[in-house]
Each structure stands twice: as C-alpha cells, then as structure tokens.
Amino acid sequence: MDHYYWFALKSVPLVGNVTFLRLLAHFGSPEAALKAPYRELVAVKGVSAAAATSIAEHDFAPFAQAECEKVSAKKVQVVDILSGRYPRLLMEIPDPPPYLYVMGELDGSETAVAVVGSRRASHYGQSTATLLARELAGQGITVVSGMARGIDTAAHWGALKAGGRSVAVLGSGIDVIYPPENDVLYRTLCESGAVITEFPMGSEPLAEHFPRRNRIISALSRGVVVVEAGEASGSLITARYALEQGREVFAVPGNVTANGSRGANALIKEGAKLVQQVEDILEELSIEPRFTHPKGKPPSFPLTPQEAELYALICQGVLEIDELIAQSALTAGEVSATLLRLEVKGVITQLPGKRFAPV
C-alpha cells in the first residue's frame, strides 16, 4: 500500500504528469493533494478549476486498491520521482512520469545509450545492432531499447549476452509481455537489467502508448542510436524526442536503395552522427574507452590456417576487406570465402562499409 495515494492521484481525470508534479511540489505528497479542499487546489499554479473539481469529486479508491493488489501479487517495484533510484536524466524532461513500474534493478545514475530501429530489420541491421550493443555493454554502458521485434530485440540480447546491462521500456503494463515471443528476453532482462513502464498494470500495447514510451527511451539515455529505420519508423519519433531533450542522435548508414534504410540515412543527412563503430559513439559522448578490441583471443574451436591468419589480423583492429587482402597472403576470392566462414562460425562480425571486427 506504499503507493496507494500515488496510484490514486494519477487515476484522477485531468491530472496528467505535469499537474501531478505541480500538486506534489505544492502539497508535499499525493495524499495531501487528494485531501486538500477545492479552494487550495485551485490556488495551485497550473491547476485548472476543472482539474480541482475532478480531484475533489473523483472516487479513486477502487483503482488505487486494485493497483496495489496487482503490484503486490506480481512483486512489481514502484519507483517514484522522490526515490534515489528514479533516473536522474528522466527528471530533465517536461513531463516525467511521477513513478515507474519496475521489474529488475533500476539505477538512477547509470550511463545509458539507446539502440533502436525497425521491427522488420534485415540481417545486416540486426547484426549491427547486436555488435554495437555488445560493445557498449563492454564499456560499462547500459543499453536501452523498447523490446520490440527486430533491432530492439537484437540490441537487448547483444548487451545481455556480453554480460552487460540492458533496460527495456514498455508501451504496455509491466505485466503485459509484448511481443509475446519475447517472453524469454523479458525474464532475462528482469534478472540482468530492468523492464520499466509508466502504464498501469494490465495496460494493453495500444498504438498511442508507443510515442510516450519512446520519449522515455530517449530521456533515459545520453544518446540514441538508430539502426535501420523506414521513413515512417517509430524510431524517428525517438530521435526527434532525443533532439528536443538535448540528447545526441546517431545513425548507422544503410543501403541507399533499401526502404528500411531511408529513415536512418535521412537522419545522417540532417546532421545525426554517422556510426560505423562504437568508438564513434564514445567520442561524441566524451566517454573514455575502457579497452579496445581483444588482441588475438583464441576461439574455442579449431580454425584452418587461412581462417587463423585473417582472424589474427582482425583482432589487431577493425579492418576493411581491401586491407585484409593487402595484408594477407590470400587472394581476393580466398579472403571473401574465408571471411564468410568466420562469420558463420561466429568468430567475427561485419560492420557497415565491409569492415570486420572480432566477436
């Protein structure tokens, strides 16, 4: 019942996030605001007569009681804006949620970068998102995304499989897993990161929820990286919020003939930072790299002599295919075939511009 009155005040018609926070600042607690007489409510700057009347007359008890019971039954944490665990960056936006529903561990001061993109992502897009998220996690940076299909899912898994942290922001209630096939991802995030939302328990993933979800994704992050996005992608909404919130916007270049790349390419044309490797992000955010790519870490399975030669070169730094041809004793055809085998074995990954990095 700790947040009974928080749920109660939020349930009142005409009390949005901004009005809620004005009332909280004036009265000191949601309970005091709910118990205040009409004349005191209407005297609060920014609180309309209609909102004051709504607070005075609304029967909030049924919703607040039910929400407390649901939160308790699902063991959901509620982190309010007065808590030290509430993300500090989120407090900078004009309409921060008064509280968040949380599963997992939320750190109010962690350094985070969002990685978002198309739900209908190509293999190139997914592998790039995975790599960037893995390398961000390797730098101790939390990867934020929206747990949607495609790029979001790849980004979350990239960070988690690297042993890092990832935070998913939902456009539904904390107890509504969407898409349903991300059940395993959801549970893994709850154990090795966090799942958060501002929407009440049981809220369905309605279309109008996702722009609100996107503003939280960008607000939690120092920067937003867009990996593949069509011209009407929700990721562009996230990028727009990021600009409004004073965050950095990054984009991974894509095939100019592919519809799924038009949004990201347009962002670059408009001034977004072009990303080819994680260092591009770290440099723009003035984050000192913890370490560079591993130097010759042996894979856990045998390689042919040709594979070993190329792998050793790539472990010294990210290389383009032409550089590998020039530095190895192999022909162009042998290099291409060997790189493909190394990718299939999961030893290396291809970056934009036919550049290769160790996994």
Domain ranges of the chain: 1-74, 112-284, 305-358
Give pLDDT, residue 147.
97
Number of neighbours of residue 18 by Cβ within 10 angstroms: 14
Give pLDDT, residue 294.
44
3-class DSSP state for residue 194? Answer: strand
CB of 347 closer than 8 Å to CB of 303 = yes
Position 54: which residue type?
Answer: S
3-state secondary structure 132-145: HHHHHHHCCCEEEE
pTM recorded for the entire structure: 0.81
Give pLDDT, residue 4.
97
CB of 111 closer than 8 Å to CB of 141 = yes
Give pLDDT, residue 1.
63
Give pLDDT, residue 300.
53
Report the C-alpha gap between 178 and 146 in whole angstroms: 10
Task: Write the CA distances from 194 to 75, 103, 197, 243, integer angstroms.
Answer: 14, 6, 10, 25
Pick the closest to residue 101 from 85, 79, 74 (CA basis).
Answer: 79
Report the C-alpha gap between 251 and 32 in whole angstroms: 46
Within 13 Å of residue 353, how many CA atoms lie on the same side as its CB?
Answer: 13
Over the chain (359 residues), the average pLDDT of each successive run of 10 is: 93 96 92 96 94 96 97 96 91 93 92 95 90 93 96 95 94 97 96 97 97 96 93 88 96 86 91 93 89 47 74 79 86 90 84 83
CATH architecture of 1-74: Orthogonal Bundle (1.10)
Question: In terms of C-beta density within 10 A (0-12 exposed, 13-18 middle, 19 or more buried), how is residue 195 classed?
Answer: buried
Q: Which CATH class is domain 112-284?
A: alpha beta
Specify the DSSP element, H or E, that contains 273.
Answer: strand 273-274
Task: Write the CA distances from 177 to 190, 205, 209, 216, 334, integer angstroms.
Answer: 12, 9, 14, 18, 46
State whether CATH 1.10.10.10 applies to domain 305-358.
yes
